[in-house]
Amino acid sequence: MIMGRIYETILIAKPDFDQEGFEKLHARLLKTIGDEGGLELKLVDWGRRRLAYPIDGHRKGNYFYFGYIASPACLKEIHRQLRLNAEVIRFQSITLSKSKPLGAFDFEKERERVVALTPDPQDEEEYGRRDGRDSRGGRDRGDRGDRGDRGDRGGRDRAPRRDDRDGAQTAEKASVTEVQA
Amino acid sequence: MKPEMRRRRSFGRRKVCPFCADKSLHIDYKTPSMLKRFITERGRIVPRRISGVCAQHQRKLQVSVKRARMVALMPYSTTGID
pTM for this one?
0.66
* Residue A98 lies in domain: 3-112
Better-scored residue on pLDDT, B41 or A167: B41
Instruction: Provide, as residue numbers in chain B, all residues whose Cβ is less than 8 Å from the Cβ of A51.
Output: 72
Q: What is the total count of domains within chain A? A: 1
* Average pLDDT over chain B, rounded to an integer: 83
Residue B70 — very low, low, confident or very high, per pLDDT cuts 50/70/90? very high
Kindly state whether residue A145 falls inside one of the protein's structural domains: no
- Give residue B22's pLDDT: 85
- Give residue A124's pLDDT: 47
Domain ranges for chain B, please list them. 14-70
> pLDDT digit string (tens) for A132-146?
444 444 455 556 666
Kindly state whether residue A62 falls inside one of the protein's structural domains: yes
Instruction: Provide, as residue numbers in chain A, all residues whose Cβ is less than 8 Å from the Cβ of B76.
Output: 52-53
In angstroms, the CA A32 to CA A85 distance is 15
A139 strand-pairing partners: A133
Kindly state whether residue A27 falls inside one of the protein's structural domains: yes
- Give residue A84's pLDDT: 92
Which of B28, B32, B70 is opposite residue A92, by nearest beta carbon? B70
In chain A, which stretches have pLDDT less than 50? Answer: 123-138, 165, 168, 170-171, 174
Kindly state whether residue A173 falls inside one of the protein's structural domains: no
CA-atom Rg of chain B in angstroms: 16
Instruction: Provide, as residue numbers in chain B, all residues whose Cβ is less than 8 Å from the Cβ of A121.
Output: 30-31
Q: How many Cβ pairs closer than 8 A exist between chain A and B?
A: 49
In angstroms, the CA A12 to CA B72 distance is 9
Nearest residue in B to A13, CA atom: B71
Task: Please check whether residue A134 is in contact with residue A140, taking contact to mean a CB–CB distance below 8 angstroms.
Answer: yes
Instruction: Provide, as residue numbers in chain A, all residues whose Cβ is less than 8 Å from the Cβ of B29.
Output: 94
At A19, is the secondary structure helix, strand, or coil? helix
Kindly state whether residue A68 falls inside one of the protein's structural domains: yes
Which residue, among A100, A117, A112, has the nearest Cα to A37 in the 3D structure? A100
Nearest residue in A to B35, CA atom: A123
CATH of B14-70, one of 3.30.1360.20, 3.40.50.720, 4.10.640.10, 3.30.590.20: 4.10.640.10
Mutating which of B35, B60, B69, B71 best tests the A interface, going by the most A Cβ atoms within 10 A? B71
Kindly state whether residue A155 falls inside one of the protein's structural domains: no
Kindly state whether residue A24 falls inside one of the protein's structural domains: yes
Nearest residue in A to B79, CA atom: A53
> pLDDT digit string (tens) for B14-38?
778 888 888 888 888 888 888 888 9
| pLDDT average, residue stretch B48-68 | 92
Largest separation between any pair of C-alpha atoms in chain A: 95
Kindly state whether residue A12 falls inside one of the protein's structural domains: yes
ipTM for the complex shown:
0.73
Residue B68 has pLDDT above 70, yes or no: yes
